[in-house]
Structure 1
Amino acid sequence: MNIAPNSGDVGLKQRIEKEEELPLHDFTGADADKRDDDRWKPASKTKGRLSQRDRQSIALLVALYLLQGIPLGLAFGSVPFILKSKLSYSQVGLFTLASYPYSLKLFWSPIVDAIYSPTYGRRKSWIVPMQTLVGVTLLLLGTRVESWLEDAENMLGVLTAAFFSLIFLCATQDIAVDGWALTLLSRENLSYASTAQTVGLTAGYFTSFTVFLALNSPDLANKYWRDVPGTAGFVSLGRYLTFWGVVYLLVTAWLVWGKSEDPEPDGKDETGKGGVVSAYGSMWAVLRLPHIQQLLVVHLLSKFAFSPNEAATNLKLLERGFAASDLALTALIDFPFEVMFGYLAARWSQGPAPLKPWMYGFIGRLGSAVLAMLVVSGFPSGGVGYGYFLAVMAGHVVTQFMSTVQMVSICAFHTGIADPRIGGTYMTLLNTLSNLGGTWPRFFVLRGIDYFTVASCVVGGVPTAIAHSATSQLGKDECREIGGSVVVERDGYYVMSSLCAVLGALVFFGWTRPTVKLLERLQKDAWKIGKSGGGD
């Protein structure tokens, strides 16, 4: 492996020259401002006709992002759902730590950008080994995960560590694929890279979360497809992991022998020892910008207000008795809306005020969190009817719509403010901070729900000690076996949801909203290194 020469400066210069066919000095002063202004124009005006090469490249990117979405859908969605039937909220919260590498990939992204084999290819040097390791890991997990889930309480640490490693490998692959997208597509069609990412990741995540839960659910199979009821779904988690492990290895084998990578422009593949240090130096210079520091705080504080809704509402519905099959069906119905909302949000976020939709989206997600509490509290004691199912469905649609609006809006803002001289490092930094704002509250929210919940096993009117937590499914089953029932005196879900919503609203209207309006009005030069007193 070799080190890219000055990859923080020269490497990025090569990337920009490749992208725009202009020298780096043309992206300073008035030319840089003009390029920044062009970013706010609708993408359709900058796209050219798709050549055969571009169409093949888009298909490749969609496939790579889809593969990446498979483990993400499991770690962020399916596995926590499966674990909730066996563990407490605090224990499920521990498993959410497995998703952290995807929000922290910023810290090793300069290494991925700077170290590579010139003869093999800058991006394939990382994509091929990472995908190979993911494939092997999925095959190994496929042989063991079922037994781990059977003893989930004792094997939780092992399960968390395994998926943590899996997400770390996927995050590293994502860094390399993002970089490859800049050279795979022609200059006039680079905007299709984000389209490929959205389509691929959404499809992969959707497959591992919604589709897998539907195929794994015996209730859904018995209710809609089977004439003779069974005790298992169509697909077990072990078989699902094994299948995708094989697919990973087959796609990786095709990358090795069937897809070549273009050499670095101008043959600049020489080694140099300052690449990693230079890349980290550029990142540090961005972090020193005062407005970036304000934006950092906005990102870290902007999602905890509705984190209880998005981390625990579905789990709470399952706990109350909402069928997993109906929840999976809800997500299936919701998917077409997500695609449509993404298109609408993209159009809404065009123009000189891309953060206006973001602020509306925040208020909408806050309102959805309040409505979710009402939906959960109104769970029908006589069973779920069509009316309640539609209420849950409507809550999902509204929440996803507002979430998509915020995501597209903040991505448009990031694209507009990123310093074009170090665009790759800048965008990775901003997107990582945004992801981290949604990841860090989940662990504490789930822990808080258990902390504030007061529940006990009552047998014959007398509280009785049991081996497991009364808030876990194992505890409830144990209590039922001895002839008792779990009595919840205080539900921590409502406590955490109310605390986060009230505190989030105070922070948003008192500080976040005026700060965001201020940041949105800043000139583009305020975000560039060396022009705000924060850079070199």
Structure 2
Amino acid sequence: MPSKRASTKKPDSHSVDLSATQSADDLKAATQNGSSTLDGGNEKGHTELHAADIKAIVLLVILYFLQGIPVGLAFGTMPFLLKARLSYSDIGIFSLATYPYSLKLLWSPIVDSCFVNSWRVPFLNINLSLGRRKSWIVPIQLIVGAMLYALSEHADALLLVEMPNVYLITALFFTLVLFAATQDIAVDGWALTLLSDENLSYASTAQTVGLNTGYFLSFTVFLAFNSVEFCNKYMRTIPLEYPILSLGAYLKLSALCFLFVTTWLLFFKKEDAERSGKADMDLRSVYDTMMRICKLKHVQTFIIIHLVAKIGFQANDAVTGLKLVEKGFGKEDLALTVLIDFPFQIILGYLAARWSKGDNALRPWLVGYVARLGFAITSMAIVAGFPSTTASDGSKVAIPLSYFLLIAVTTVTSSFASTVQFVGISAYHTQIADPLIGGTYMTLLNTVSNLGGTWPRPLVLKSVDLFTNSRCSVTLGDKMVEILPKLVNNSGECTSDLGKSACKAAGGHCIIERDGYFITSGICVVLGAIVMVGFILPKARQLQKLPAAAWRVSTDKRSA
């Protein structure tokens, strides 16, 4: 995200990011000089990437990529795999596995304050260099790698059963996401010292590229190679009955990736102790500072914005893809549409980062908000108008090419709007975060942002089932007779693949009299529009005009 905005003489008009070793006097001098270290310090507003910064960006991309692997599995792949056998309400239970990303604020001060500089290996008399960030990143990545390898050995036993144990699966992935979230805290903090001050804005670019790549690999790419239909249709000349890549094999490959990178990090990457510095405050002081940050009126306003900002398109994000598959859109076609989308997001994410600066730093995020509301409405229309994939003789037919292209274009543009929001808000967080407490400030902001997307999701998924009226019926002569729910399955639902198969096996067919997806998504869009016009838009305009100093609080270590 190269910065090309010229310096301004208006004091405190832009954010100033300083390393943890800089003092309040440095901050005051920087703001009075009117230069923003985020955007470079020369007269032309141009920043050059030094060799050390390039290496740092590559390292950050790799670390965020690893983080994206378990995140992509938990947020993307698993709901699709579970939907074949479980209801929307059950998937709502599994969505609890994503909560650590929304709760990591609770333990981020521990990660920011507690560390060791070295570790002596027992019995081998070897001293391994660690540091403020590697103390957490190295063991966590080893644990995640071990968990992924263990899961690879039991993947079939967990998923390929008639009724998967959703509580056990949720607990396992909750633990995985917990460790990934903790790694994120450490990497966010390391980014503030790995990069030079004038190129600190590249941290959000590295996060976008790395996290998106890991996420898409675990979600889109894996689902494509895990789909028998996709493999036979696009990658094989002779159809086979098994996919190119099973879940167990992918988990094993991911585990080896974690082991390789962590070994290199442990033995060949030395953390700069002077730049990373000691913890400027003890653990209690960090928590105290964090609480004082939360007491700032504009921070409280920003937190409320984050908590309500994703309600409008929550049903679209959580349900539309599953609903398309339910309607008959092949998983192989869905995988292809997102594969098409992936390169666009890497390129367009870079452009989005360039827009998120200056006096209107939140403008791209607001534009993305409106666009995502529009795409939520468009998605409902696409699902409602989905053409039948069953011919008159009962055989399956492909959807028209025009409709496939419509879904592909909608997927790309909708994902771009989401990327604009993600990159825009990440860049804004980097601008206003106080480096004195490293990853804790960034984690505070990112946590409430994530929480805005996780707290409504179980309610939304539950609402889809609640508002849906479906039944399994069989034709007897000229009459339609409803089959008792117990003859279908234990829950009586007739929306999942398992429920439909059970209904068919009982001699009936599923009839959806009222689809809760449209009611739920409609409610979300209306609420999102009201919140946008009445609260988010006016408050966001006020927040982006605040100087960097307004986001700081005094501590025992520096003057007010």
- TM-score normalised per structure 2: 0.86
1:168 aligns with 2:178: yes
Q: Which amino acid aligns with 1:166?
A: L
2:336 is the counterpart of 1:329: yes
The one of 307, 310, 320 equivalent to 1:303 is 310
Q: Is the aligned partner of 1:396 residue 2:415?
A: no
Partner of 1:463: 482
CA distance in structure 2 between the aligned counterparts of 1:247 and 1:21, rounded to whole angstroms: 34
- 3-state DSSP of counterpart to 2:482: strand
1:223 equivalent in alignment to 2:230? no
Which runs of at least 4 in structure 1 moved beyond 6 Å after TM superposition? 40-44
Question: Which of residues 165, 185, 189 is equivalent to 1:179?
Answer: 189
TM-score by length of structure 1 reads: 0.90
Paired residue for 2:13? none
Which residue of structure 2 lines up, in the alignment, with residue 103 of structure 1?
102
Residue 277 of structure 1 corresponds to which residue in structure 2? 284
- SS of residue paired to 1:459: strand
Change in CA separation of 1:519 and 1:46 when aligned onto 2, cut-off 3 Å: same
Equivalent pairs counted in the alignment come to: 513
Residues 348-389 of structure 1 show CA distances to partners (whole Å, capped at 9, x for unaligned) of 223211122222221111110000000000110144111110
Provide Cα deviations, 1:111-165, integer angstroms capped at 9, x if missing partner: 0111111233121111111011001100110011211101263411111111110
Structure 1 counterpart of 2:72, one-letter code: G
1:311 CA displacement: 0.8
Name the stretch that deviates more: 224-233 or 206-215: 224-233
Which of 525, 530, 540 matches 1:516?
Answer: 540
* Contact 1:312 1:446 survives alignment (8 Å): yes
Identity of aligned residues (%): 49
After TM superposition, give the deviation of residue 412 of structure 1 in Å: 3.2
Whether the 8 Å contact between 1:40 and 1:352 is mirrored in structure 2 is: no
C-alpha distance in structure 2 between counterparts of 1:455 and 1:348, whole Å: 46
2:528 aligned residue (480, 499, 504): 504
C-alpha contact (below 8 Å) 1:42/1:350 kept by paired residues: no
Unpaired runs of 5+ residues, structure 1, are 1-15
Residues 1:124 and 2:134 aligned together: yes
CA distance in 2 between counterparts of 1:219 and 1:475 reads 22
AA in 2 matched with 1:411: S
Tell me which of 397, 401, 410 is aligned to 2:425: 410
Question: Does residue 362 of the first structure (1) align with residue 369 of the second (2)?
Answer: yes
Deviates more, 1:90-99 or 1:32-41: 32-41
Task: Give the Cα separation in 2 of the matches to 1:36 and 1:530.
Answer: 22
- Distance in 1 between residues matched to 2:455 and 2:236, nearest whole Å: 41
CA displacement at 1:346 relative to structure 2? 2.1
The residue type equivalent to 2:166 in the other structure is L
Residues 19, 182 of structure 1: 8 Å contact kept: yes
Contact 1:46 1:189 in 2 (8 A): no
Shift in CA distance, 267/170, structure 1 to aligned 2, threshold 3 Å: closer
Assess if the C-alpha contact under 8 Å between 1:40 and 1:416 holds in 2: no
Partner of 2:294: 287
Residue in 1 that maps onto 2:150: 140
Displacement, 1:529?
2.2
Q: Gapped runs of 5+ residues in structure 2?
A: 1-15, 119-129, 390-397
Relative to 1, partners in 2 of residues 1:268 and 1:92: Cα closer, same or farther, differing over 3 Å? closer
Query: Which has the larger displacement, 297-306 or 462-471?
Result: 462-471
- Is the 2:38–2:198 contact (alpha carbons within 8 Å) kept by the matching residues of 1? no
Letter in 2 for 1:103: S
Q: Is the 8 A contact 1:84 1:315 kept in 2?
A: yes
State the Cα RMSD in Å. 2.6
- Please say if residues 85 and 164 of structure 2, whose CA atoms lie closer than 8 Å, have aligned partners that are also in contact: no
Is contact 2:352–2:423 with CA below 8 Å preserved after alignment?
Answer: yes
The offset of 1:87, in angstroms, is: 1.0
